Structure 1
Amino acid sequence: MKRFFDIFSSLCVLLCVLPFFLIVAIAIVWDNFGSVFYTQKRIGLNGKEFGMYKFRSMRVDADKIGPYFTSVNDPRITRVGQFLRRTSIDELPQLLNVLLGHMSVVGPRPNVAQQEELYSPVSWKKRNTVKPGITGLAQATKRSSATFEERENLDLEYVDNHNIIFDLKIIFMTIKQVVVKGGN
């Protein structure tokens, strides 16, 4: 049921936003010439690595001049990128990851491999027993303000309690967060 929901919802949203994708692509290239998409290696179901898609929000050479995480007022983020991140539009290409089966609409956000050292082996293994999501319980409740511990606890709570009704609740909570508080 969850896979059907993921495919159906991601296809519907992609069809609705396809013209918008073109506008975003033009804005990204206009602001900082280069690729429209950014692919980053992330950890998925059962610890398998996959390429997660995003609209590029940073300078083309960003990964050569900084760490895997961003900071407040990070100079690597472009002007268009600031808007994309604030509105979470940069995450929309992950709908393609959902169609490919790498991600789900709802689940813990996928980590980069370097983040494994932050978790206990038990927590790391447990959070990777479900597909990572475009949004999750941590994003729906705390947005980007969650501490690592809060995010870990919320991710593990999701793993323990996930079902289609809980997923729908998280989707509506996420929409409310984005509309009321803005993106990241």
Structure 2
Amino acid sequence: MLRAFNFLLSFFALLLLGIPYILVWILVKLTSPGPAIHWSKRIGKNNQIFLMPKFRTMRIDTPQLATHLLAATGKNYLTPVGSFLRKSSLDELPQLLSVIKGDMNLVGPRPALYNQDDLKELRTKYDVHTIAPGVTGWAQINGRDELSIPDKVLFDKYYFDNRSLGLDIKILFLTVYKVVKRSDVSH
């Protein structure tokens, strides 16, 4: 039932958001060289690597590092529209394709970059790695970019222990609220 819920809601969301999807694609193409979609190696269910699509918000010469590590370099790798796309979460729209494909759920722990070993190890320790990652999750509505990795994993563990369709619906509604409010976004 959860798979059908994820598939149908993602399919209808893509239909509803088709025009914004196309507009963002055009905006990315017009403002920076390179592809509009960036395929990022991520850690999925059972620590399997999968390719997750996002609208590209970084220049094509950006190193494959977590955002907080890139910030420490002092260089600005964002494209001209990158900050807006991230703050509005429009860069996440292509992930609906990963939900339809079955690599992700709408709700779950956010997929870690393939090289975020500290996050991978903590999630494995608490068995969080046994569920599919999500476009949004309990950690994202409770701090998003402001959380430390151990705190994110504690929120992921809470979700793992309490997952239900009701909790997923609550997280989806709170995510929409947070996106509209643009809270807890540091980049």
Tell me if the contact between 2:122 and 2:150 (Cα under 8 Å) persists in the aligned partners.
Answer: no
Unmatched 5+ stretches in structure 2: none
Identity of aligned residues (%): 36
Q: Distance in 2 between matches of 1:74 and 1:155?
A: 31
Task: Output the CA distance in 2 between the equivalents of 1:159 and 1:20.
Answer: 32
Distance in 2 separating the partners of 1:67 and 1:121? 18
Aligned length: 182
Please name the residue that 1:67 is paired with.
Answer: 65
Q: Aligned pair 1:47/2:47, yes or no?
A: yes
Matches within 5 A, 1:66-145: 67-69=65-67, 70-71=70-71, 75-118=76-119, 120=121, 123-124=124-125, 126-145=127-146
- Cα shift readout 1:111-161 (whole Å, capped 9, x = no counterpart): 123222345467456111110000000101212211212111000111111
- TM-aligned CA distance change 1:36 to 1:124, over 3 Å: farther
* Residues 157, 135 of structure 1: alpha-carbon distance in 2 compared, 3 angstrom cutoff: same
Which amino acid is 2:30 matched to? W
When structure 1 is superposed on structure 2, of 72-81 and 20-29 the one drifting more is 72-81
Contact 2:108 2:134 in 1 (8 A): yes
Q: CA deviation at 1:94?
A: 0.2
Q: In structure 2, do the counterparts of structure 1 residues 29 and 183 end up closer, same or farther at CA, with 3 Å as the change threshold? A: farther
Return closer, same or farther for 1:81/1:2 CA change in 2, 3 Å cut-off.
same
Distance 1:120 1:168 in 2: 28
Contact 2:123 2:153 in 1 (8 A): no
Q: Partners in 2 of 1:4 and 1:118 — Cα distance?
A: 29
Secondary structure of the residue aligned to 2:81 is helix
Per-residue CA deviations over 1:154-173 (Å, capped at 9, x if unaligned) read: 00111111111010011111
For 1:106 and 1:164, locate their aligned partners in 2 and report how far apart those are by CA, in whole Å: 10
Quick one: distance in 2 between partners of 1:54 and 1:25?
10
**Normalising by structure 1, what TM-score?**
0.91
Aligned partners of 1:6 and 1:164: how far apart in 2?
A: 10
Instruction: Tell me the SS of whatever aligns to 1:71.
Output: helix
In structure 1, runs of 5+ residues without a counterpart are none
Q: Would the alpha carbon gap of residues 30 and 120 (structure 1) be closer, same or farther in structure 2, given more than 3 Å must change?
A: closer
Alpha-carbon distance, 1:22 to partner: 1.5
C-alpha deviation, 1:18, in angstroms: 1.1
Which 4+ runs in 1 deviate beyond 3 A?
Answer: 117-125
In 1: Cα distance, 2:57 partner to 2:122 partner: 32
Q: Alpha carbon RMSD of aligned pairs, Å?
A: 1.9
Amino acid at match of 2:54: K
Q: Residues 87 and 182 of structure 2 are in contact (CA less than 8 Å); yes or no, is this contact kept in structure 1? A: no
Give the 3 Å change call, closer, same or farther, for CA 61–153 of structure 1 in structure 2. Answer: same
Relative to the length of structure 2, the TM-score reads: 0.89
Closer, same or farther: CA 33–117 of 1 in aligned 2, 3 Å: same
